[in-house]
A and B are shown apart, each in its own frame.
Chain A
Amino acid sequence: MSGVPGFSYAYLDEGTKRMLRRTLLKAVAIPGYQVPFGAREMPLPYGWGTGGIQVTAAIIGPSDVLKVIDQGSDDTTNAVSIRRFFRRVAGVATTERTTEATIIQTRHRIPETPLREGQILVYQVPMPEPLFRLEPRLAETRRLHALADYGLMQVRLYEDIVRHGAIATAYNHPVMVDGRYLMSPSPIPAFDNPKMHRMPALQLFGAGREKRIYAVPPYTDVVSLDFEDHPFRPIRAPHACALCGAADSYLDEVLTDDSGGRIFVCSDTDYCATRQAARQAAE
């Protein structure tokens, strides 16, 4: 196995990796439950993906192929930095293709291309506690989870409807996992929430600074919180991608001048590039 001389494979020492794997097993066994763990200082700052990096470091092996995305793109600077980190400390092959990756570490997006069995999606999570804006005290939120008392969140969504006529949560929309635990999907856009439901891939969530790991095993029910008369609505900009023409993908709005000019392009750069290549091949 290759890595950096003087450091363990994938940076973390073996004892720490064992601790992380035990935590991950517990997390998988209790879908949606936040398992505390002894997060280490990483050589990247807290808040910049240290939870996801620790999870990836604990599960990665020399035969893995790693993809790292931030905002759906392989080219954003922090994704570049994390990909380079694992190339360096784990000597691992990296890819930008969703279909080729065995592990995908992500911040804020789920790829458009459906994931398959055997793949692992690792989310970087800033605030693992879905209730934190309503109840900042951890001792109290732990009690609420134990009692499955999620009335606070239901009331908040209800208040949105009363005030705005619709649920005003555009991202980080809370989900119920396996009918038991309320979970933060990490700040992915609500558009991505339905992709979590019964996903064939394993979903792992790492929050380094907050020292929590949680998981959604393959084919687990993940239901966005809503009301019968106000069903959950995934939101996307009502346009087609200016580069590949996709009308089903999540779009970023790009300002092209200072007089209102704008275009919409796919946030998932691999999805967009693959579609553009297919279109060129067809022409």
Chain B
Amino acid sequence: MYVAVKGGERAIANAHAWLEEARRGDPALPRIAPEQIAGQLTLAVDRVMAEGSCCDRELAAIAIAQARGDLIEAAFLLRAYRTTLPRFGYSRPLETAAMRLIRRVSATYKDLPGGQILGPTFDYTHRLLDLAAAAGDPPPAPRAPADPAAAPRVTELLAREGLMAREEASDAEPPDLTRQPLPIPAPRPARLQNLARGDEGFLLALGYSTQRGYGNSHPFVGELRIGWASVEVETPEFPFPVDIGEIPLAECQMVNQFHGSAGAPPQFTRGYGLSFGHGERRAMAMALVDRALRADEYGEERAAPAQQEEFVLLHSDNVEATGFVEHLKLPHYVDFQSELENLRAIRALKEAAE
């Protein structure tokens, strides 16, 4: 005889005890400390900070450990925590032109003021799996300090010549997607916020698609800059903005061709990418998608997936996406039963008619 499914509470408790054990792994090996994750799996931490939209290495490292290294789960943990924190103010816009740079690359100029700085990059490494990686620490790398004042933005250099479309400065209060639903159609600040915490894989695939003909894009990396930017806040106590510290950032400005329209002369246009941490790939992909989403602005036909604002913005969030995809494993037998009965009824109708 059928016994109703009971004991959910105990099953859940036991499953979570098992999870705890699996998370710990072999007890003969030392547990990984969050400090080690924060200090050595830095790009994983960067990705979780970006997608968790919370710039805090320690919290992101704790989340990665708790998530068994599942970075989407970690981003979710971080978001669920950050949403409970009180909001005590907004910073001034970041001055990324004055970033303390560790890497700065332009693909459009051979040399430029401030120079090219390769920095700690995977580029030009030969991807040979290092089977002796555990053997000893590397010697300190030689480095020369970069001078931020001497590294003006490449897009600014072009704009001065009138060859790059200038962005309209605006004092309008930008929307805050962590507090408000996404407005549709979305103004660019809302789009950029959405993309900045969008899933890296999704951004990468969409950006890639614009290079392969799905969307009319001919991008150059005008500039990619990685480093630290100061965060300034205005407080009632001081008559000047107060520097409260630095955050790690990756910023990419893509230069795109534009053949001009009735209202605008032919000039370059830009796509913009910005990421917490040193997520270079994320910033580049975001810049491609940002430019694709500006199709209306430049009178371009919106034909490719990356140009469809609702499609891109409503499916970019991996915390939302993973929740809804994974909810399919919840019981659906009530709906399924009504489908079953409906199917039986319709088939009976059909058989009676034949």
Q: Which residues of A contact B (CB under 8 A)?
A: 7-8, 11, 13, 36-43, 45-48, 50, 70-73, 75-81, 84, 107-109, 126, 136-139, 142, 164-166, 168, 170-172, 187-191, 209, 211-212, 235-237, 242-243, 250-254, 256, 263, 265, 267, 269
Residues of B within 8 A of A (CB-CB), count: 50
Q: A53 → chain B, closest Cβ, in Å?
A: 12
Please tell me if the beta carbons of A38 and B345 are within 8 angstroms of each other in the complex.
no
CB contact under 8 A between A165 and B337, given known A73-B5, A76-B5, A269-B4 = no
Please tell me if the beta carbons of B335 and A187 are within 8 angstroms of each other in the complex.
yes
Not counting A168-B346, A263-B2, a sample of 19 additional A-B residue pairs whose C-beta atoms are within 8 angstroms of each other reads: A45-B76, A45-B323, A46-B322, A48-B323, A48-B330, A50-B323, A107-B330, A108-B334, A136-B310, A138-B314, A139-B185, A164-B350, A165-B349, A166-B349, A171-B334, A171-B339, A235-B338, A235-B345, A253-B337
What would be 26 A-B contacts, judged by CB atoms less than 8 Å apart? A39-B181, A42-B83, A45-B323, A45-B326, A46-B323, A47-B326, A47-B327, A48-B327, A70-B331, A71-B332, A71-B334, A75-B4, A75-B8, A109-B334, A139-B185, A170-B335, A170-B338, A170-B341, A189-B334, A189-B337, A211-B182, A235-B342, A237-B337, A237-B341, A253-B337, A265-B4
B6 contacts the other chain (CB 8 A): yes
**Docked CA distance A199–B322 (Å):** 35
Name the CB-closest residue of A to B350.
A165
Contacts of A267 in B (CB 8 A): 334, 337
B179 contacts the other chain (CB 8 A): yes
**Docked CA distance A79–B340 (Å):** 24
CB contact under 8 A between A38 and B342, given known A13-B84, A73-B5, A189-B334 = no
Contacts of A142 in B (CB 8 A): 184
Interface string of B5-36 (1 = CB under 8 A from A): 11111011000000000000000000000000
B40 contacts the other chain (CB 8 A): no
Please tell me if the beta carbons of B341 and A43 are within 8 angstroms of each other in the complex.
no
Please tell me if the beta carbons of A189 and B335 are within 8 angstroms of each other in the complex.
yes
B319 contacts the other chain (CB 8 A): yes
Please tell me if the beta carbons of B184 and A138 are within 8 angstroms of each other in the complex.
yes
B104 contacts the other chain (CB 8 A): no
Name the CB-closest residue of B to A76.
B331
**Docked CA distance A254–B334 (Å):** 11
Q: B33 → chain A, closest Cβ, in Å?
A: 23
CB contact under 8 A between A126 and B338, given known A13-B86, A77-B11, A80-B8 = no
Q: Which of B80, B82, B84 counts the most chain A CB atoms within 10 A?
A: B84
User: 4 shortest A-B CB distances, which residue pairs?
Assistant: A46-B323, A47-B327, A45-B323, A170-B338
Please tell me if the beta carbons of B334 and A38 are within 8 angstroms of each other in the complex.
no
Q: A187 → chain B, closest Cβ, in Å?
A: 5
Q: B78 → chain A, closest Cβ, in Å?
A: 9
Name the CB-closest residue of B to A173.
B338
Please tell me if the beta carbons of A108 and B12 are within 8 angstroms of each other in the complex.
no
**Docked CA distance A212–B181 (Å):** 9
Q: B190 → chain A, closest Cβ, in Å?
A: 13
Please tell me if the beta carbons of A250 and B334 are within 8 angstroms of each other in the complex.
yes
Q: A263 → chain B, closest Cβ, in Å?
A: 6
Give the tally of cross-chain contacts (CB within 8 A).
150
B134 contacts the other chain (CB 8 A): no
Please tell me if the beta carbons of A164 and B181 are within 8 angstroms of each other in the complex.
no
Please tell me if the beta carbons of B2 and A256 are within 8 angstroms of each other in the complex.
yes
**Docked CA distance A237–B4 (Å):** 19
B310: which of A43, A76, A137, A190 is its contact (CB, 8 Å)? A137
Please tell me if the beta carbons of A253 and B340 are within 8 angstroms of each other in the complex.
yes
Interface residues of B in 295-324 (CB under 8 A from A): 310, 314, 319-320, 322-324
Contacts of A139 in B (CB 8 A): 184-185, 310
B181: which of A36, A46, A235 is its contact (CB, 8 Å)? A36
Q: Which residues of B contact A (CB under 8 A)?
A: 2, 4-9, 11-12, 76, 79-80, 82-84, 86, 178-182, 184-185, 310, 314, 319-320, 322-327, 330-335, 337-342, 345-346, 349-350, 353
Contacts of B319 in A (CB 8 A): 41, 45-46
**Docked CA distance A78–B329 (Å):** 11
B324: which of A7, A126, A253, A254 is its contact (CB, 8 Å)? A126
Name the CB-closest residue of B to A140.
B310
Contacts of A36 in B (CB 8 A): 181
**Docked CA distance A256–B2 (Å):** 7
**Docked CA distance A11–B83 (Å):** 11
Name the CB-closest residue of B to A253.
B337
Please tell me if the beta carbons of A38 and B335 are within 8 angstroms of each other in the complex.
no
Name the CB-closest residue of B to A109.
B334
**Docked CA distance A166–B330 (Å):** 29
Contacts of A75 in B (CB 8 A): 4-8
Q: A214 → chain B, closest Cβ, in Å?
A: 14
Name the CB-closest residue of B to A127.
B324
Please tell me if the beta carbons of B349 and A164 are within 8 angstroms of each other in the complex.
yes
Please tell me if the beta carbons of B334 and A166 are within 8 angstroms of each other in the complex.
no
**Docked CA distance A191–B335 (Å):** 10
B2: which of A8, A46, A109, A242 is its contact (CB, 8 Å)? A242
Q: Which of B84, B334, B342 counts the most chain A CB atoms within 10 A?
A: B334
Contacts of B322 in A (CB 8 A): 45-46
Q: Which of B181, B310, B353 counts the most chain A CB atoms within 10 A?
A: B181
Please tell me if the beta carbons of A72 and B11 are within 8 angstroms of each other in the complex.
no
Name the CB-closest residue of A to B179.
A38
Contacts of B342 in A (CB 8 A): 168, 170, 235
